[in-house]
Amino acid sequence: MNRLVLSCLLLSVIMLLPTANAAPAAGSPAEVTTALYHSAMKNFGFSVDSLKSQKTWLAPDLYSRLMKEANKPVPKGDAPDIEGDLFLNSQETPSGFKVGKSTIDQSQAKVEVVVDIPGDKRQYTVLLKQIDGAWKVYDVNYGKDGKLTDLLK
């Protein structure tokens, strides 16, 4: 009897352990936005590597356009067209962010985000749509500064 209890307990613990290759859950628009912004804070900047770490939460078209921009050659002595981080809309690492209200209208959603940059709080609206049953970010509205996709034209 004790072996049965021990075996069940061990099996329960194993089932609760995270797996390295587990696919992320589709999640709500707010959960997807939170995951993307955590990744942006951890992998701050605009680079091929940071984009690869964020691919899970991005619409395929946006991801392709971002990768095309990130892979553009920069002439020696010039600065790249995009510096800093596009999701955080900052050239310096923010001290944090807060995901706020989200609204869903059929297959599209909007999630409010406040980014804390030293001396400044910036409000953005993250735009998502459902693709193959999962919420994906397809743009970020920076307010008076335009949209993320405006920078990719």
Residue range 84-140, pLDDT digits in tens? 889 999 988 999 999 999 999 999 999 999 999 988 999 999 999 999 999 999 999
Q: Give the DSSP letter of residue 57.
A: G
Q: What is the pTM of this model?
A: 0.79
pLDDT of residue 26: 53
Instruction: Report yes or no: 34 and 56 within 8 Å, Cβ to Cβ.
Output: no
Helix count and strand count (H, E) for the chain: 4, 4
| pLDDT digits 0-9 by tens, 44-75 | 999 999 999 999 999 999 999 999 999 988 88
pLDDT at residue 30 greater than cutoff 80:
yes
Nearest CA-CA partner of 51 in 72, 67, 32, 74? 67
Helix (H, G, I), strand (E, B) or coil at 145: helix
- Topology of domain 27-71+82-152 in CATH is Nuclear Transport Factor 2; Chain: A, (3.10.450)
pLDDT grade for 23, boundaries at 50, 70 and 90: very low
**Rama region for 105: left / alpha / beta (φ>0; ψ in -120 to 50; rest):** beta
